[in-house]
Structure 1
Amino acid sequence: MNMFAEAWGRVKAILGVKSGPGIGRDQALVPASSIAGRALVTVVAIMTFLASLAAGAAILIGDASSAWQDQVAREMTIQIRPTAGRDIEADSAKAAQLAEKTPGVAAARAYTKDQSEALLQPWLGAGLDLSELPVPRLITVSLTPKTRLDATALRRTLAAAIPGASLDDHRLWLERLAVMARTVVAGAAVIFALVLVAMVLAVAFATRGAMAGNREIIEILHYVGAADAYISRQFQRRFFRLGLRGGAIGAGAAIISFLALSTVSSWWRATPSGEQVDVMFGDFNLSPNVYAAIILIAAAVAILTGYVSRTIVFRHLRDLT
């Protein structure tokens, strides 16, 4: 009887029927602060942080991959292999001239012997005498952005004029970069989906715990004629606030993490390994797309938290009828 009287007193307070000093309509159906509520905020913050990191990493790598593909697509490479009885320097100059005369080519730059040998130093080491090795010559061909190059025609022209000449349009590299970008985006999508599933389960458990703690009040409100939408809306508002708070904390932590990574990468960029990371993954600077994605994730988490809570409570009330 004491539990029923206490529950009935809280019901009258919620409905606005005063039964004592200090009791009024401002009392909420769901307690404003509880250990479960604080735990849920922590869980939502962690999930939002992980989801924001996954989305931000996917955007950063996707942007770096797009920049790579654009840069590779704007250039081609002509390779002149040494051939007995021919002057490789003259063949290189001739190949550069043929390339510059081709529509769609903006410029062609032939590497000298020293420059070609310098390209092999990262693999063979410095200080080696490469004069006896048949080091090929490279010619970089820059393409005009608005003019389409007929690579097949240029390849035929080079093959007919210069034995040992070959044209590389970097198609294999472009395909590998595209596959890498799709793989990263797919992995980030899987991580994002798993984080959302874990968050929904956490909200569901928290909602059921809140309903268990207020079971008598919910049942009395239901049987005295309170609309199911009204009861479920109380839970939705409470859990929406919890989700909004946790989402804001997680989003803020994600933004701070990206800013810290950007600062560290700027210090690390002067090292050889830092330059490679910068080329592959970008400089970790937050673009407007990353900011927008993190903010949208935080807002979506808050809305999803309130919606899941409302749905669970509404279904429970339907089962009481």
Structure 2
Amino acid sequence: MVEARAGERQTPIVPPGNVAGRALVITVAIMTFLASLTIGAVSLVSKTAAEWQNDISREITVQVIPREGLDMDAALSSVEEVARATSGVTAAARLTDSATSRLLEPWLGGDLSLDELPVPRLVVVSIDAGAPPDFDALRTRLQSEVPEARLDDHRAWVSRLVAMASAMILTGIGVLVLVLVATTLTVVFATRGAMAGNKQIVEVLHFVGARSEFIAAQFQTHFLRMGLIGALFGGSAAVVLFWMMGLWTESNQARPEADQISALFGSFAIGWSGYLGVAFVIVLVGGLTALTSRFTVVRQLSLIDMLSPVEN
């Protein structure tokens, strides 16, 4: 058996720093960055889908279609009165002209005059999520009072968005699995390359009695260190990217582009679940790198044991 003497510093079997090692660190960093982006995107989409589902239980809109001779102010007032008089409705307020212009600005520009265009006007109706109104009855009552009124409870629109979000989440999980598989294969080839580069040392230690667990532990420690370094770089880069995008969204709230992003993803913050997911990916990639290298070394040493009697 080959054992280290007390107080004696061992020379590592695998050199601590070389070109192949730096290439592996960069590769692991890239893989972790992609995996962290996937985790953050899945967390963001999942959170946004939940918010969409919550919004549908709190708010609906009534659209008043303009036509020639229609008194829009009177029509909007009638819609507000009917909505407020309905059981299950907590509030009703028309969307102001400035707010309507702001919604249409990305498509029609900033110099928009609502009086010159037949733009539908909206009334936002807040509802009691615990006891919502009868939407069919409310729709019928609105159209009897204001024939140009169209009630939209957003259910069809939100259901399509939630279905799309679910598909994106499944796609993200698939991408994450592929990234982890690619990382595993990369570590396998890197471990084999490291063993090939130190073949004589490994074989001598193995044949003079060094246990496979001892040799595998040397490679495992080496690749664990490189895996954690690469994973930390990649995960940190992803966190910085999400943080910068959140800052950009907050600092550009007055712009239409930021408004559209905020409408879809809120403040573009992945939240604690997303950051915990990134931390989990870092630990997972580091552990996966170490275990993969250990398994590869043990398997290669077992092949050496199988071939050695034939060679003798």
Deviation at 1:148, TM superposition (A): 3.0
Which moves more between the two structures, 177-186 or 158-167?
158-167
Point out where structure 2 has 5 or more consecutive residues left out of the alignment. 307-312
Which residue of the partner structure matches residue 314 of structure 1?
298
Pairwise mapping of residues 60-209 of structure 1 onto structure 2 (< 5 A)?
60-81=44-65, 92-110=76-94, 122=105, 126-127=112-113, 129-130=115-116, 138-159=122-143, 163-209=147-193
Q: Report the Cα distance in structure 1 between the residues aligned to 2:192 and 2:280, rounded to whole angstroms.
A: 27
Q: CA deviation at 1:137?
A: 5.2
Question: Does the 8 Å contact 2:100/2:121 carry over to 1?
Answer: no
Q: Would the aligned equivalents of 1:61 and 1:281 in 2 still touch at CA under 8 Å? A: yes
Which position in structure 1 is the counterpart of 2:309?
Answer: none
Verify the 8 A CA contact 1:116 1:136 in the aligned structure 2. Answer: no
Does 2:293 match 1:305?
Answer: no
Q: Is structure 2 residue 273 aligned with structure 1 residue 265?
A: no
- 1:27, CA displacement in angstroms? 2.2
Instruction: Give the whole-Å Cα distance in 1 for the aligned partners of 2:268 and 2:100.
Output: 34
- 2:130 aligned counterpart, secondary structure: coil
What is the CA distance between 1:17 and its match in structure 2? 6.8
2:236 partner amino acid: G
**CA distance in structure 2 between the partners assigned to 1:189 and 1:289 by the alignment:** 15
Query: Given residue 154 of structure 1, which amino acid in structure 2 is its aligned partner?
Result: L
Return closer, same or farther for 1:94/1:284 CA change in 2, 3 Å cut-off: closer
Residues 116 and 138 in structure 1, CA contact (< 8 A), matched pair in contact too: no
Larger RCO (CA under 8 A, 6+ residues apart): 2
Deviating above 6 A after TM superposition, structure 1's stretches of 4 or more consecutive aligned residues are 82-88, 114-117
- The TM-score with structure 1 as length reference comes to 0.78
Among residues 204, 217, 227, which one is paired with 2:211 in the alignment? Answer: 227
Tell me the TM-score normalized by structure 2: 0.80
Please say if 1:256 is aligned against 2:240: yes
Give aligned-pair identity as a percent.
40
Aligned with 1:166: secondary structure? strand
Deviates more, 1:82-91 or 1:185-194: 82-91
- Residue 15 (structure 1) shift: 2.9
CA contact (8 A) 2:25 2:227 kept: yes
Q: Which amino acid aligns with 2:174?
A: V
Contact 2:231/2:286 (8 A) holds in 1: yes
Cα distance, 1:178 vs. partner?
Answer: 0.9
Verify the 8 A CA contact 2:101 2:114 in the aligned structure 1: no
What are the superposed Cα offsets for residues 244-268 of structure 1, whole Å, 9 maximum, x if unpaired?
1111121222222223333333333
Cα distance in 2 between the residues matched to 1:83 and 1:269: 34
Using the alignment, how far apart are the partners of 1:265 and 1:120 within structure 2? 17
Instruction: Look up the equivalent residue of 1:126 and give its one-letter code.
Output: L
2:3 to 11, 15, 21: 15
Q: Please report how far the alpha carbon of residue 229 of structure 1 lies from its aligned counterpart in structure 2 after TM superposition.
A: 2.6
Give the distance between the partners of 1:108 and 1:273, measured in 2 at CA: 28
* Structure 1: unaligned runs, 5 residues or longer: 1-11
Instruction: Flag the structure with larger Rg.
Output: 1
The whole-number CA distance in structure 2 between the counterparts of 1:116 and 1:220 is 78
Computed over aligned residues only, the root mean square deviation of the Cα atoms, in angstroms, reads 3.4
Letter in 2 for 1:214: N
- 1:225-260 deviation per Cα after TM superposition (whole angstroms, max 9, x unaligned): 433333222221221111111111212222222233
Query: Is residue 59–residue 124 contact of structure 2 (8 Å, CA) maintained in 1?
Result: yes
> What is the SS of the residue equivalent to 1:15?
coil
Q: Distance in 2 between matches of 1:91 and 1:286?
A: 42
Q: Which residue of 1 aligns with 2:310?
A: none
CA distance in 1, matches of 2:93, 2:5: 87
Against the structure 1 CA distance between its residues 240 and 163, is the aligned structure 2 distance closer, same or farther, given a 3 Å change threshold? Answer: same
